[in-house]
Amino acid sequence: MQPRSMSHGIARVGAGEMTQYVTILEDNPERDSEGEFLPALELFQTWASVTILQGRDLEKAQEVVAEVTHKVVINYPDVSVESNNYVQLEDGRVFVVQARQDMDERKYQLTLLCLERNDGLPGEQ
């Protein structure tokens, strides 16, 4: 059972469930001399809970955004994480942030609804 906020009853992810070390990235607006995009810029690294969405959770997430495959929960960062940023796992898998949610609006944890990419990050060869 997940810990719940005492006043709101909203389930939070416990620190022990954040077992993936992830890197949050953003597109690099600059291009090289041949006009190709440069590798994405690192915003920060943090521990996260990464889960595949299935069943009822998937249906609820698709009410917010049509294409979503995973939910990534991180402790609320000091840096803004926006849609179209990227989440990269240590194993190299890349997810595009489709939507972000602060469930209780207390800036405690941030839920990122993501779509897994198969073609890597922009700017990678």
Q: What is residue 48's predicted lDDT score, i.e. its pLDDT?
A: 95
Beta carbons of 104 and 9 less than 8 angstroms apart: no
Please report where in the chains the tokens 């698709």 appear, as a residue: 62
Q: Does some domain include residue 5?
A: no
Q: What does the DSSP assignment read for 51-108?
A: EE--HHHHHHHHHH-SS--EEEEEEPPSS---TT-EEEETTS-EEEEEEEE-TTSSSS
For residue 92, what is the domain's CATH number? 2.40.10.270
Give the count of domains, the chain: 1
Domain that residue 95 falls in: 15-117
Coil, strand or helix at 83: coil
Q: What is residue 75's predicted lDDT score, i.e. its pLDDT?
A: 92
Q: Does some domain include residue 1?
A: no
Q: What is residue 96's predicted lDDT score, i.e. its pLDDT?
A: 93
pLDDT in tens, the chain (125 residues): 445 444 455 667 877 888 899 999 998 888 889 988 888 899 999 999 999 988 877 777 777 787 888 999 999 998 888 888 999 999 999 999 999 988 888 888 999 999 998 776 666 64
Q: Does some domain include residue 7?
A: no
